[in-house]
A and B are shown apart, each in its own frame.
Chain A
Amino acid sequence: MRRDDVRFAAAARDDGLRKISKLTWRAGAAGVLCSAAIAVAFGHHVATPQPAVVHGGTSGSSSSSTGSTGSSSTGSTGSSTGGSSTGSGSTGSTGSSTKAGGGSGGGQGTISVPAQPPAPASGGGQVTSGGT
């Protein structure tokens, strides 16, 4: 009788341990799934493409890379265009690239300052700069 009690208690203990173990595994799996889901959702928002790649062009401006590398949760890749390439995030869209455009001065990274500041003058102007 006493031996049966011991056997019953051991079986009950093993059964309880199995249940706890199963619950632990399920909770762990749920955690992993939730983490993955959050990562995908968050990555979708933050992994917007950065116009980052600069390459020489016809506009005459010096160029430099200013961009950051987009994060990617699904392994999509950005397009490489002459310089470094950027990952473009979970949406799978391609990376974009820019080169310094427009003016005769300034690279991609900063607004170009004039060779010399405007000098004072008296009287009227040959031309007027104002709002359009």
Chain B
Amino acid sequence: MGIQVRPATPADHPAVARLTVEAYRADGQLEAETGRYADVLADVAGRADQTEILVAVDSDGGADGGVLGAVAFVLPGSAFAELARPGEAEFRMLAVDPSAQGRGVGQALVRACVARAREVRASGILIFTRSFAERAQRFYTRMGFVRAPEHDRSPMPGVDLLALHLPITPAEV
């Protein structure tokens, strides 16, 4: 199975909505304290103009056009930006279809975000994880992210967000 990451098109939105909600639900991130966040996750068109939605697709095709995972790459100034200061980048709503996890899909999506961050000359890239999402934290740590506790937020009881940061080195010339 080859994995290719490309910008999403409107035709991908239903698949992105479905797999993002399923991945969040499978990870226990859609409990009562987050409200109807599934509706936000499913509104792919509603973030398509303020973020860059990237999809990972199986080059062999398959259900949903082979879409296996998705992420929203975000720059400062977007309404969806929560962490990035000027000169930085972030990503949100990284999700891999539960049936496709463990195959490097998430890594391919994060690498694509890092590449975009490098293209726009960002000095670093940031991500929030839920405090209980230890698998996600290990995943980002393996990819070189380090904890950035100065960005941590606890917007309400039961929702504790841990920030991670990856410095971006300029492309070699």
Are A and B interaction partners?
A: no
Residues of B within 8 A of A (CB): none
